[in-house]
């Protein structure tokens, strides 16, 4: 698992959200890129966290690697970023982990039919969303506070917004969905949650003090999912992103006016 390193003295913390072949800090995210390199799965990774890290759509990554729903991956598995002869393997069973499925099928399922994807035991606290409907989402502000950094399409470190706040204040789900990542394996994001809302949209909540929900858990809009903190940052803040088909978009276009 990738680990965070503390910056001391006058050194600035590298901003979150950098990835891709041209990033000077790409080494912090692993050795792979979208040019055809290979990523080796580490403990704690999910297909969603890997695709998030490299700005890809999880459905595309699953199709390239022939990974079936519910998209389980295993430690040391090689993930390819474009179709190659090597990317012909299928997913192996995940040891010591439960997968919530009603029936077992050997038939290939398109990525758009995915409803389950987790490397931990799922738990349910709300009714699952209809991922295939992709209906309009009623977004909510994930926490209360002043926006201190805005989204920039041209800046590798500004793939979302930063909201200042007090340590321990509530962080809520911006919309209903399923938690597809809960951990601290992505450098500079600190304690991170990623929620899948439907086949198109994901949201991410970084720098949390504590995480209150687990992978596989369904959450409702407005539900407390974390407490605000400064993990991976120099001050208490929430870094919030919205991804559409794997690509970052400006959250302020979706959130209600304040």
Residue whose C-alpha is closest to residue 49's, from 25, 79, 91: 79
Question: Which among 168, 145, 183, 181 has a CA at the least distance from the CA of 224?
Answer: 168
Domain ranges for the chain, please list them: 147-253
Does residue 135 have a pLDDT over 90? no
pLDDT in tens, 197-226: 999 999 999 999 999 999 999 999 999 999
Averaged pLDDT, 30-38: 54
- For the chain, strand residue ranges (E) read 38-40, 78-80, 147-149, 161-164, 170-172, 177-183, 191-196, 201-211, 218-219, 224-228, 237-244, 247-249
Please name the fold of domain 147-253: Glucose Permease (Domain IIA) (2.70.70)
pTM of the entire structure?
0.71
Q: How far is it, in rounded angstroms, from Cα 115 to Cα 167?
A: 34
Give the CA dihedral 73, 102, 183, 49, nearest 10 degrees.
50
Residue 177 has pLDDT above 80, yes or no: yes
Which band of pLDDT confidence, cut at 50, 70 and 90, is reported for residue 4? Answer: very low
User: What are the pLDDT digits (tens) for 38-49?
Assistant: 999 999 999 999
Structure tokens given for 154: 């041209």
**Each residue's pLDDT tens digit, 48-104:** 999 999 999 999 999 999 999 889 999 999 999 987 766 655 444 443 333 344 444
Split at pLDDT 50, 70, 90, the class of 119 is: very low
């Amino acid at each position: 698992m990738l680990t965070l390193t503390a910056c001391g003295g006058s050194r600035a913390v590298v901003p979150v959200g950098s990835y891709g072949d041209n990033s000077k800090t790409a080494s912090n995210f692993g050795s792979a890129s979208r040019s055809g390199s290979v990523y080796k799965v580490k403990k704690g990774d999910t297909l969603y966290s890997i695709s998030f890290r490299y700005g890809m759509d999880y459905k595309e990554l699953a199709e390239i690697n022939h990974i079936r729903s519910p998209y389980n991956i295993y430690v040391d598995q090689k993930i390819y970023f474009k179709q190659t002869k090597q990317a012909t393997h299928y997913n192996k069973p995940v040891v010591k982990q439960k997968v919530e499925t009603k029936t077992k099928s050997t038939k290939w399922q398109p990525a758009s039919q995915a409803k389950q994807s987790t490397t931990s035991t799922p738990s349910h606290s709300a009714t699952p969303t209809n991922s295939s409907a992709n209906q309009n989402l009623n977004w909510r502000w994930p926490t209360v506070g002043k926006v201190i950094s805005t989204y920039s399409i041209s800046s590798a470190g500004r793939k979302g917004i930063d909201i200042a706040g007090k340590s321990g204040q509530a962080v809520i789900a911006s919309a209903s969905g399923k938690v597809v990542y809960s951990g601290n394996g992505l450098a500079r994001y600190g304690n991170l949650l990623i929620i899948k809302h439907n086949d198109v949209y994901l949201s991410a909540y970084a720098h949390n003090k504590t995480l209150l929900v687990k992978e596989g858990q369904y959450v409702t809009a407005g539900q407390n999912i974390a407490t605000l903190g400064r993990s991976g940052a120099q001050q208490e803040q929430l870094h919030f992103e919205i991804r559409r088909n794997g690509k970052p978009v400006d959250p302020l276009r979706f959130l209600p006016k304040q």
